[in-house]
Amino acid sequence: MNQDQLKEAVGRAAVEHVPRGCIVGVGTGSTVDRFIDALAADAGRVAAAVSSSERSTERLRAAGIRVLSANEVERLPVYIDGADEIDPRGCMIKGGGAALTREKIVADLAERFVCIADASKQVDRLGRFPLPVEVIPMASAQVARRLAALGGQPTLREGVVTDNGGHILDVRGLHIDDPLALEGEINQWPGVVTVGIFARHRAQLCLLGTSEGVKTLHF
């Protein structure tokens, strides 16, 4: 199976983890696009969705799925999203698609985070994928200096403005030995909107697309 087929397989498998008739949290990215396609093929599976990006909202609506704002719900049974990296404890790097802030907000509403990913995203330690950090534009240089002081090499993602009007710094070269601690540290700097480490909101389950089929990892 090629990477697209793996994404399709995990997107389809994720539907089984969505309770019938519920409101589902929906992430962002090419793997989530396949999940939305699978939801669309199972008409009436969900009552509505809370989306983590304009991109997913558009796709959900095109599929005839009602989209609610995060302010309209108190709790979601499940949040389905992809990842750029996932470690053996279910901690992730996310934000390759620049949707990390809304992704963390929707993940925070959910009882369970189900990660859908192909096997290339599985790592022993986070940090090979450049860590995205969403920043308030006026603070980008200031935050970049602090990231450099931590040993990273931050670069501004050219031409990208997030759904929230933020900018993205992509940080290479960080050794993320303690994802929880680093998430907490970076998140408290003035000007940081969200860091793309998902340790506080790690996955409870990962549906991993491999050449032997979809593997279910529990964390």
Shortest distance, position 9 Cβ to ligand 5RP, whole Å: 13
Determine which residue in the list 11, 25, 90, 95 makes contact with ligand 5RP, applying CB under 6 A: 95
Q: Does 131 bind ligand 5RP (CB under 6 A)?
A: no
- Helices marked H in 27-167 — which ranges? 30-41, 54-62, 100-109, 140-149
DSSP string, 173-185: S---S-HHHHHHH
Between residues 8 and 23, which has the closer beta carbon with respect to ligand 5RP?
8
CB atoms within 10 A of CB 212: 8
Say how far residue 130 (Cα) sits from the centre of its chain: 14
Between residues 11 and 154, which has the closer beta carbon with respect to ligand 5RP?
11
**Stretch in the footprint of ligand 5RP (CB under 6 A) among 61-69, 89-97, 173-181, 186-194:** 89-97
Supply φ then ψ for residue 40, to 5 degrees.
Answer: -60, -35
Number of C-alpha atoms within 13 angstroms, CB side, residue 214? 18
Q: Does 170 bind ligand 5RP (CB under 6 A)?
A: no
Q: Does 171 bind ligand 5RP (CB under 6 A)?
A: no
54 labelled catalytic: no
Which parts of this chain interact with ligand 5RP (CB under 6 A)?
27-31, 81-84, 94-100, 103
